[in-house]
Amino acid sequence: MTKLSEFVKSADWKSEKHVPAIDCPESVKAGDWFTVAVTVGKEIPHPNTTEHHIAWIAVHFAPAGGKASFEIGRFEFSAHGQSATGPNQGPVYTDSTVSVRARVTVPGTLFATAYCNIHGLWEADRPLQVS
């Protein structure tokens, strides 16, 4: 039986343009707000054209020892240069970068997933300590 997890790709974001790069503090104080930024194409730009683009990014937090992850946010990118005059003729493009503020009470792992309309689903993770 095929599972979705078999199609999720991962690599080092410094050498693969599809992998989400997660920027946030390594450690936060329990209950304090902090910012999580996620970028696809941070080191190697992703094209984000009508034909080839990042459709969305999702950010999850999995508490250490927990049995489920919690979705922090899901961000869709709707403008990729499309228009009635043709592909890449539109007046607006989006860049696959998002940021969200969150607060946690326990340590865990942040996960970011991104979907490329051509190359599928990509993921990255980053541990988060809490003091």
The catalytic position among 24, 42, 80, 116 is 116
Active site residue 119: yes
The catalytic position among 42, 46, 60, 80 is 46
The catalytic position among 9, 14, 29, 52 is 52
Active site residue 80: no
Q: Which residues contact 127 (CB under 8 A, 6 or more apart)?
A: 26, 107, 108, 109, 110
Closest to 75 in 3D by CA, of 46, 114, 103 = 114
Interior angle at CA 58, CA 56 and CA 59, nearest 5: 155
Active site residue 52: yes
The catalytic position among 18, 42, 60, 80 is 18
The catalytic position among 17, 51, 76, 80 is 17
Active site residue 18: yes
User: Which residues are tagged catalytic?
Assistant: 16-18, 46, 52, 116, 119
